[in-house]
Structure 1
Amino acid sequence: MVTNHGFLQRSILSSNFNNIFWNRKLFSLFNIVQDLKNLHKLGYFHKDFHSGNILQNSDAINDNLTYVSDFGLSGQSNEQKSDDKICGVLPYIAPEVLNGEPYTLSSDIYSFGVIMTELSSGKPPFHNRKHDISLVLDICNGIRPEFGKGTPEIYKKLAYRCMSAIPNQRPTASELCDILDFWNYTFEDEYQEEEKFGYKGKEIKTVFEEANEEIPKISTIYEKNPDAIYTSRLFTFNNLPKSINSSIITSYLNEDNKD
């Protein structure tokens, strides 16, 4: 029985970040995207997907299962419609949604990519900025949250795919589930020679173990802008520029196409 839940923001990102290494982060991400995959298989999107809506069970030893919660805005993907009102936590909202396009399954994937940056850095996305029209314009122009020091390149590449301004360039929840499942298994000896998604198990294990050395050095002290708001709100935006990828994201996506 699960009796001790906490929001991901508190249980990993705030109170204990420097003691949580990549194997646990990857396991948490796998749990999260598995829930998202199951939701998408039913034909529903979440529509308000952010770290404040993720719960973690820390009740049992070595059992840190993570769960997606708060489905109040969820809807069927075949009933999507355009609406001038947008609801969510601004840094997690996909740029096409900011532009007034209908919410889709891939809009949830964008939010997942933002959560990936958060687990990497230990800081909320765009914590040092006002969550206003200036940030919206930057998101439309390809600005994305920062990663923590030492974050593996393969992890950045996957997160940038999720946060692409072009929805059909994003992976599906099912694909993410397969990738993160393999990454988790690479910490076990019998998977060292197995190759999937362009990498051998031992290569993946090595880059994440090397990245573990940086985690205790990452500062989780930050000054939050008083106008950085991490609760869901209603927004209306007009005449935004067409969403584009930054040169950084484009370089990662081009590299991914070469693999």
Structure 2
Amino acid sequence: MEVGVTGARSAGDVIDGRYEVLRVHGDGAMGLVYRVRHLRWGTDLAMKCPRPGLFATAADRDRFVAEAETWVSLGLHPNVCGCHYVRVIDGVPCVFAEYVAGGSLKERIADRSLHEGGAAAALARILDVAVQFARGLEHAHAHGLVHQDVKPANVLLDTDGTVKVTDFGLARTGGATVSGAPGRGSAGGTVLVPTGGLTPAYASPEQSAGGPLGRRSDVYSFGVSVLEMFTGGVGWMAGPVGRYGGEAAGEEG
């Protein structure tokens, strides 16, 4: 059945005459995520559709499109989930990204599968994931992008064990300075990063305090994510980082 993108859709629905919905993967505050098949290409894609209410004006929508396209600009890297293009359908800008079949790192932490096979096997597996995770972030930083919502839920694992960082620029964005990053993110330059996607348990002190962000903000969140891989959880999920982060950022300053 031919449908639009506003509201939840079901498996078998066809969107814009070319995308068949295979599965609804997520329905969160930001919007809906579908696994779709491009009927002409025969390729499965992840289709991410923000809720129309997120855009107060047409300018907000246009800004979202421009910023989502910064994800497209990352190009191909084995440890970054590729974003193919952004298409406006029924007035809603939808992001079409690489579909990764293996689930998220958050799910692997929750089901303890990272720790299967004894301590030595678990250590090797966690280090392999961490190294690939870091390479994906390094690629983004080299292109002047700061993710700002680095966490296990935004790291996907393919069925062959390849790790891919995802969801660059899907939240509404603002300016951030990336000190020392080459290209567009050179010292004193401005890049676009999500401001709506902060997750308190993983947020760096400067992010929690509302300060300027750079690569080190992502590195902090990466470190918390690696800690969680080892321990199975972090002890401040309710957000004490936000409470004490401002003091830490001030002391560092």
Larger relative contact order (C-alpha < 8 A, sep ≥ 6)? 1
Normalised-by-shorter TM-score class = 0.3 to 0.5
Q: Of Structure 1 and Structure 2, which has the larger fraction of its residues in helix?
A: 1
Q: Of Structure 1 and Structure 2, which has the larger fraction of its residues in strand?
A: 2
Larger Rg: 2
Name the TM-score, length of structure 1 as normaliser: 0.46
